[in-house]
Amino acid sequence: MPGNNRVRVAKKSQFEALAKLHGSEFAVGWSADEIKSLDASDRVVTLISTDEVAEQINGFAMARAVVDEGEILTIMVAPRYRRQGLGRRLLEEIRYNLEVKGVRTIFLEVAAQNNAGIALYRQQGFCEAGLRKNYVRLKNGGTEDALLMRLDLAR
């Protein structure tokens, strides 16, 4: 249930679980060391969503700020927790964290066939800014295009 979920900053001790979740969804998942390396920068924020009843991580998001631009590096929700608003909540929290860091524009890439993700980003004000051909590696060895999306934040 969405009411049992909490979003907060990830702890280093949780990076192994994040790597497992990331690897379950992507052909080339990030290792715990890669997540740790990214998260070591004060420009990066890593948030998790946890099911407080089941005491497990059910989603996470990472983003980085460079001067006044932000990039959402990943945002994902475990399959059994999808369609409950967790992706939207993670996206809203990441956006807030980037705004606090002075970001004025946020970019992200999303697989062109990820209709749910694209719909979420559009609902949150993102628009298409480009196309990256053969950008996403698939588990079957193929590739898929990715949309580059952009959100300009009001100041």
Rounded Cα distance between 112 and 133, Å, is 10
Token pair listed for 56: 């497990």
Number of domains in the chain: 1
- Asked whether the beta carbons of 62 and 44 are under 8 A apart, the reply is yes
- What number is the average pLDDT over the span 149-154? 91
pLDDT greater at residue 151 or residue 136: 151
Instruction: Give the rounded percent of residues in the chain with a pLDDT score beyond 90.
Output: 45
CATH number for 108: 3.40.630.30
Round the CA-based radius of gyration of the chain to a whole number and report it: 15
**Which listed residue (109, 128, 135, 144) is catalytic?**
109
Strand order in the sheet with 69-77: 5-9, 44-51, 56-66, 69-77, 105-111, 143-152, 127-137
DSSP secondary structure code for residue 103 in this structure = -
Task: Tell me which of 64-73, 112-121, 131-140 is least confident.
Answer: 131-140
Task: Specify the pLDDT at position 1.
Answer: 44
pLDDT at 111: 87
Find the catalytic residue in 71, 81, 93, 121.
Answer: 121
Provide the residue range defining the domain that includes 115. 2-152
**pLDDT per position as a tens digit, 56-101:** 888 899 999 999 999 999 999 888 888 878 889 999 999 999 999 9
Residue 54 is predicted with a pLDDT of 62
Active site residue 121: yes
| Model confidence pTM above 0.85 | yes
Q: Which residue has the higher pLDDT, 29 or 40?
A: 40
Joined together, the tokens standing for residue 77 give 């929700």
Q: What angle do CA 40, 6, 112 make, to 5 degrees?
A: 70
Arithmetic mean of pLDDT over the chain? 87
Q: Determine whether 55 is an active site residue.
A: no
